[in-house]
Structure 1
C-alpha cells in the first residue's frame, strides 16, 4: 500500500462551499436572519474543523498512522535543525533508529551542514514551512501559503539534492490553501497518532508516558527539537530506551512501502 498520497483535487472544497452557501442563502431568503444566521454559522463548522484538526482529511489526504500490524513506529522530529541536532543524530545511531526531520527552511539555510548530515545518516527530511509562523499558519492566504511551502522545498532540495516527499503543517493546522502547492510539489501531508507535548513540557518522564499511551503498531510519533526548556534530547533518549524495552523498531514510510512491495512480489512468485 502506497502511503504517500499528495492531493489530487486541491480545489474540490470550492464545490462544497458553493453548494452549502447557496443553501444558506435560500434559507435566509425564505425564513429571515433568525434562522439564516445560525444556519450560516453551522455551515462554516466543517471548514473550522478541517483547518484546526490535524488529522482532518477534508481538504487533502493526511497520514496519521502507518498501515502495518508490525511493532514499528515512525519517529518524526519537528522544528529543526537546531543545537540539538548533532546529539539527536548520535543518539538515533546508537539505538539503530531512523527518524524523519521536518525542517524549517530558514533554519536549514542557516545550518546547512546539519541538514546534509541528517541526509547522510539516512534519515528522512520533510518540509515544515519556510519560516514556521506558528501563530498564523492556519490563517495564511493562498499566496503566502504557497511561498512558505515552495521556499522550504527549494532550500532543502538545494542543500541535499533530495526532494522531500512529506509535509507537516505548522502546529498541525492547515487551511484549504495548503492542498494546491502540495499537489504541485508532489508532497503528502503527515500528521501523527501520538504526542507528548515536548515542545512546551520539559519533563521527559511525563512526555514519554503520554507518548506510550498512544503507542501501537504503525504509530506516528510527534517529537520536537530545540525547545526553550532544553530537554528535547533527554526526552528522545528516554523514548528510544522505552521503545527498545517494548520491542518497537523505527521505520520510515518509504521503507514500509518497499517492504510491502517485496512481500507482494514474493507472494506472486510463490508456487501453488
Structure 2
C-alpha cells in the first residue's frame, strides 16, 4: 500500500509541477508586454532588472566546447553575463567554472543534476539539489553563489521557500529564444533582438549542441549594444 501511495503522490506532484510550468509560461508572456518586468525578491523570482540595462543569462554549463567559445565571444564584445551552472558539470570541469569567473562573469546555482520537472521533487530532494550544487561551485571557485534559477524555470512555493532559506535569490527571465531546441540561428536572432531595457535574456551553453546559440549571439550582441543597451550581471534583489 505504501508503494502505491508513493506512486500516487509522485504523480500528483508531477501534474502539479506541469500545471505550474504552463502558468509560468503564460506569466512570462505577460512580462514581455509590460513596460517594466517584475523585479522579484526573496519569495518571487526576478523576471527583470531595476535599471535601464539588460542581462544575458546562460544556463546548463559549463561545457568543454561551448563555454570557452561563448567566453571568447563575450570578451570580444565586452559583455558580462550571468552563468547558472549545473553542479554535476562543475564537478566534471571545475577549471571551466573558474574560467567563467576569471573572465569577469557572475556565477549562479542551477541545481546539482538539472532534474525536471523540478517542482515535482520532494522538499528534501529540492533542498539537496540546490545545496549540493552550491557546495560544488564553492569548492571549484571559492565563491558562494547568491542567485538560483530552477531547472526549466519550474518554480513552486516550496522551491521558493527553500531557495530563500538557503540564502539565494530566485531568478527567472523575460526573453527566451528557446535556443535549447536549436530552432535555427535566424529565429534565435529575431527573438533576442527584441530585448528591451530592464529585461533578462535566456541562453544556454550546455545540454547539447549550442553552435546556433553562439552564431546567433555573434549577431545579436553588437546589434543590441549599437542600440545603446548596456549589459550587466543580474543583481541580488533580496
Q: TM-score normalized by structure 2?
A: 0.79
What is the aligned residue count?
Answer: 208
Cα displacement (A) at 1:163: 0.8
* Alpha-carbon distance in 1 for matches of 2:174, 2:167: 23
Matches within 5 A, 1:73-88: 73-82=54-63, 83-88=65-70
Residues 62 and 188 of structure 1 are in contact (CA less than 8 Å); yes or no, is this contact kept in structure 2?
yes
| Residues 1:243 and 2:214 are matched in the alignment | no
- Aligned match of 1:110 in 86, 92, 100? 92
Question: What secondary structure is seen at the aligned counterpart in 2 of 1:76?
Answer: strand
* Alpha-carbon distance in 2 for matches of 1:171, 1:239: 23
Residues 64 and 191 of structure 1 are in contact (CA less than 8 Å); yes or no, is this contact kept in structure 2?
yes
Residue aligning to 1:9: none
Question: What secondary structure is seen at the aligned counterpart in 1 of 2:179?
Answer: coil
- Aligned match of 1:160 in 141, 165, 169? 141
- Closer, same or farther in 2 for the Cα pair 1:163/1:171, shift >3 Å? same
* Alpha-carbon distance in 1 for matches of 2:104, 2:178: 26
Structure 2: gaps spanning 5 or more residues: 1-14, 29-39
Cα displacement (A) at 1:186: 1.1
Residue aligning to 2:9: none
| Residues 1:195 and 2:176 are matched in the alignment | yes
Residue aligning to 2:119: 138
Cα displacement (A) at 1:194: 0.8
Cα displacement (A) at 1:178: 1.2
Cα displacement (A) at 1:48: 4.0
State the Cα deviation string for residues 150-190 of structure 1 (Å, max 9, x = none): 00011111111111011001110122321333123210000
| Residues 1:217 and 2:200 are matched in the alignment | no
- Aligned match of 2:186 in 205, 222, 225? 205
Considering only aligned residues, what root-mean-square deviation do their CA atoms show, in Å? 2.6
| Residues 1:62 and 2:33 are matched in the alignment | no
* Alpha-carbon distance in 2 for matches of 1:100, 1:152: 16
Q: TM-score normalized by structure 1?
A: 0.70
Residues 192 and 220 of structure 1 are in contact (CA less than 8 Å); yes or no, is this contact kept in structure 2?
yes
Which stretch shifts more, 111-120 or 171-180? 171-180
Residue aligning to 1:178: 159
Question: What secondary structure is seen at the aligned counterpart in 1 of 2:48?
Answer: coil
Structure 1: gaps spanning 5 or more residues: 1-43, 258-272
